[in-house]
Amino acid sequence: MSALFYLLGVVIFIGAILASIGLHELGHMIPAKKFGGKVTQYFIGFGPTVWSKQVGETEYGVKAIPLGGYVKIVGMLPPGAAQLADEVTVDADGNQVVRVRKSNTGLFTQLISDARAAEWETIKPEDSERLFYKMAWWKKVVVMAGGPTVNLLIAFFIFVGVFATYGNPGDAKPYSPVVSSVVDCVVPATEADRACRDSDPVAPAKAAGIQEGDKILSFNGTPFTTWEDLQEQIRANDDGSATIVVERDGRDLTLTTSTTVTARPTSQTDETLTQVGFLGVSPTFAGFVVGGPVYVVEQMGVMTKNTVSALGTLPLKVFDVGQAIVGLEERDPNGPVSIVGGSRFAGETVSEEAFPVKEKAVFLLMLIAGFNFFIGMFNFIPLLPLDGGHIAGALFEALRRAWARLRGRPDPGYVDVARMLPVAYCVAGVLLAMGIVLIVGDLVVPVRLPA
């Protein structure tokens, strides 16, 4: 049964990501068609075609490798200077045929020339006014920003639903000084999971008569509203006497005891043990911060800052994953993962019997939202072949034309993004290599959810 639920989690996650990819591509296709562009292909996945159907001038389909998708918009690359004078002939049926002249000078020049040739061999004379590169700069921005914007909107609406009902798992309220549990004895932190023994001293809170549900109002005369402040005072008390005022059943009670000194972790994230004062009570978890759309926008602003910072160190983190694959270092549990790693997280969460159904659903939703948020932000990087590279080209075109008008110069024309294809090929190669490293890492040295 556990394996079945694991598979269910994987299927849910993969299905959600494929749906996100499909919506991303619709974010490109719909405005492209709205602005009069010609879209000849809409595919989810890469590689061999599994299924396709021609509807009007667009072929819709699914390919074998579900690691992305694409839409083919005619005329992404403008003609080069040589192409403007290329030979135009008429075939046997009376149709015009543009024969693209190729250049053989230099590797990069040849790459650019070949790309233009492949692009223009599919363009028909009647497509002349529907070419993408001829669109107004702002239309190009809308078309190319449409895809990643859809991903960000998916993340936004998932966050709104989760944060408004369950709360933000990444933004917990301060712990309440209401006692959720009282330990019976003092057990060393290194043996925290074992039961009390006759030789173990009675916990100070137990000896004082503190009970579950008591609200601690003051400690040695100091009032408190948060658990963190109370905990700090308890730890600083060492083995000194303690006068504790608690509220129980609407009445204030004064209890006395002495804290004891024992080794405890310095924090939840740092397991280093330090000798501190110990009382033996646990606070009540106050829950997560709940918020609506404005709160979500604020949180996504923080996520944007953190994601931009993370993207700057992504190559180094992927290199660390490569180091972990060959056994040179441990895999960073907070490092990047691929869709394989995300699928593993989903499967482990759904198959974990200790997790309530609500927590499982929230985790899956947050995982899907997180992937969409990252995909959206990643695609805005201003480098080809990413969407941000085309957006940058369109914005540069607008600025160049505006500057020419201000100076009374002739229109400089369209920005030739084909000149950046060598950069695009290099970036694509790096992205492919990083993707392979992450996938292999998730298979060989996977990141697992904390037990």
* Beta strand spans in 236-395 (E): 241-248, 251-258, 260-265, 273-278, 281-284, 288-289
Name the token pair of 119: 């692009």
At 64 the three-state DSSP class reads: strand
- Rounded CA separation 227/206 (Å): 18
Largest Cα span, the chain: 104
Q: If DSSP codes are grouped into helix, strand and coil, which group holds residue 341?
A: helix
Q: What's the chain's length in residues? A: 451
- Token pair for 172: 């917990």
Coil vs helix vs strand at 37: coil
| Sequence-ordered list of residues with C-beta below 8 angstroms from that of 323, at least 6 positions apart, any chain | 329
Is the dihedral angle over the CA atoms 420, 423, 425, 428 positive or is it negative? Answer: negative
| Cβ-contact 80, 98 below 8 angstroms | no
Main-chain dihedrals φ then ψ at residue 168, nearest 5 degrees: -90, 110
Catalytic residues: 25
Non-local (6+) Cβ contacts of 202 within 8 A are 184, 185, 186
Q: Who contacts 402 (Cβ-Cβ below 8 Å, separation ≥6)?
A: none
Q: What does the alpha-carbon distance between residue 364 and residue 352 come to, in Å, rounded to a whole number? A: 13
Quick one: which of 63, 71, 84 has its CA closest to 33?
A: 71
The burial class, CB within 10 Å (0-12 / 13-18 / 19+), for 330 is: exposed
